[in-house]
């Protein structure tokens, strides 16, 4: 069974410096029908103006992943981590017992466009940690690149405290990619950029899709530029 | 427990962050605010925003790491006006050298958050 979450139906807020779309309830956007999917709690599609960002704030007991699509994202946290990441670099924080961090656009010219993803951990009170993994664009072209999971899978990946595997991929128009969901597993597809067909269904940028009891997943790049997307394999 | 951590400048940032962590460890919701309206550090304004009236109205506990400056006095007056019942804790920013001040701030924040939660 596939349930679509259309981009236009997401929560939306434009604060001037931040233009954000919420796949699930977040901040002032509350919809009891969209509180998350399995352990996937938040997918925010954020565009932050040059020189602006999220001031220091705290997190507890959450796995937080940032996936940059365009521009650069700065990060500074209470563990002493201070980094700037761009496309093809994954940043993951296990908030655990508590962490304070700020995120900002370090460029004074370019917008930063990124997805922020929250996954509920399998256990509370873990020691806070930070992971940052970079990979070559070719590693996600027409193939699945594991970017986060409970353990690495032959390639470096951000480690999260949950039975959830997050993959990135991109397809040119007409290219195809398949995935299987084991019995009892659930999937979420999030289209980060472009257009893709999922098991015969047309999806556009910002669309999401929940998959349950769908053992076979088939994706085809569409439109003039294909697509970039994330796939979550969830317990 | 809704906790505001208000600090003056970069000099007090480490203590404020330790206090913020302490509050989070007690599962408080936190908001971090800076009191110095002007800073030579261009990033300071982006990393921390100034206190807002809605923060004062929201807070149950306010932890303060600041010297006695006019901005602090103005902030305390605004708290008294907007939320007279809020619990205010001054963090020790003048600890003697050699003492683990950030750790003391973290523990003070945990104690303040826990004690206020039990009193509410």
pLDDT recorded at residue B120: 57
Which residues fall within 8 angstroms of residue B59, CB to CB, at 6 or more apart?
Answer: B2, B3, B4, B31, B83, B86
pLDDT recorded at residue B49: 85
Which chain B residue has the Cα nearest residue A51? B46
List, for residues B87-119, the tens digit of each pLDDT value: 999 987 775 544 556 777 787 788 777 777 666
Please work out, in degrees rounded to the nearest 5, the angle formed at the alpha carbon of residue A142 by the alpha carbons of A138 and A146: 70
What ipTM does this complex have? 0.80
Range of the domain at A107: 2-234
Q: Which of A60, A64, A75, A102 to mutate to test the interface with B (most CBs of B within 10 A)?
A: A60
Q: Which of A82, A100, A105, A106 to mutate to test the interface with B (most CBs of B within 10 A)?
A: A100
Whether A70 contacts A87, CB under 8 Å: yes
Which chain B residue has the Cα nearest residue A126? B25
Q: Which residues of A touch B32 (CB under 8 A)?
A: 55-58, 100
Q: Which residues of A touch B24 (CB under 8 A)?
A: 58-60, 97-100
* Number of independent structural domains in chain A: 1
pLDDT at B57 > cutoff 50: yes
- One-letter-per-residue 3-state SS of chain B: CEEEEEECCHHHHHHHHHHHHHHHHCCCEEEEEECCCCCCCHHHHHHCECCCHHHHHHCCEEEEECCCCHHHHHHHHHHHHHCCCCEEEECCCCCCCCCCHHHHHHHHHHHHHHHHHHHC
pLDDT recorded at residue B110: 81
Nearest CB among B25, B32, B43 relative to A57 is that of B32
Nearest CB among A55, A97, A104 relative to B25 is that of A97
Mean pLDDT of the B19-33 span: 92
Count of A–B CB contacts within 8 Å?
Answer: 51
pLDDT recorded at residue B40: 66
A206: tokens are 């910002």
Taking the complete model, does pTM exceed 0.95, yes or no?
Answer: no
pLDDT recorded at residue B9: 86
3 state DSSP class of A200: coil
pLDDT recorded at residue A84: 96
Mean pLDDT of the A17-21 span: 97
pLDDT recorded at residue B98: 46
Residue A93, domain CATH: 2.60.120.10
Test A99 with B17 for CB contact under 8 angstroms. Answer: no
Nearest CB among B17, B30, B46 relative to A51 is that of B46
């Amino acid at each position: 069974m596939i349930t679509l979450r259309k981009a236009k139906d997401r929560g939306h807020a434009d604060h001037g410096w931040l233009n954000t779309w919420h796949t699930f309830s977040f901040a002032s956007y509350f919809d009891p029908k969209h509180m998350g999917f399995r352990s996937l709690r938040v997918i925010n599609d954020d565009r932050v103006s040059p020189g602006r960002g999220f001031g220091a704030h705290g997190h507890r007991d959450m796995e937080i992943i940032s996936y940059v699509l365009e521009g650069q994202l700065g990060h500074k946290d209470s563990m002493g981590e201070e980094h700037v990441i761009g496309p093809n670099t994954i940043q993951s924080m296990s908030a655990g017992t508590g962490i304070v961090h700020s995120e900002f656009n370090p460029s004074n010219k370019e917008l930063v466009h990124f997805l922020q993803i929250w996954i509920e951990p399998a256990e509370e009170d873990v020691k806070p940690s930070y992971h940052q993994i970079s990979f070559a664009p070719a590693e996600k072209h027409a193939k699945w690149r594991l970017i986060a999971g409970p353990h690495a899978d032959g390639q470096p990946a951000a480690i999260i405290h949950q039975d959830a595997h997050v993959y990135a991929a991109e397809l040119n128009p007409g290219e195809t990619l398949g995935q299987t969901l084991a019995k009892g597993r659930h999937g979420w597809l999030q289209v980060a950029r472009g257009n893709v067909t999922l098991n015969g269904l047309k999806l556009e940028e910002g669309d999401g899709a929940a998959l349950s009891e769908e053992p076979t997943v088939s994706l085809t790049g569409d439109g003039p530029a294909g697509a970039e997307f994330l796939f979550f394999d969830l317990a | 427990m809704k906790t505001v951590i208000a600090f003056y400048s970069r000099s007090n940032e480490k203590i404020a962050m330790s206090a913020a962590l302490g509050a989070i460890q007690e599962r408080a919701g936190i908001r971090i605010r800076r009191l110095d309206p002007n800073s030579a550090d261009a990033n300071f304004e982006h990393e921390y925003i100034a206190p807002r009236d809605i923060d004062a109205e929201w807070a149950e506990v306010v932890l303060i790491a600041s010297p006695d400056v006019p901005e602090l006095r103005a902030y305390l007056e605004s708290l008294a006006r907007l939320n007279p019942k809020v619990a205010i804790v001054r963090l020790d920013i003048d600890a003697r050298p050699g003492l683990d001040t950030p750790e003391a701030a973290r523990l003070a924040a945990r104690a303040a958050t826990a004690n206020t939660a039990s009193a509410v």
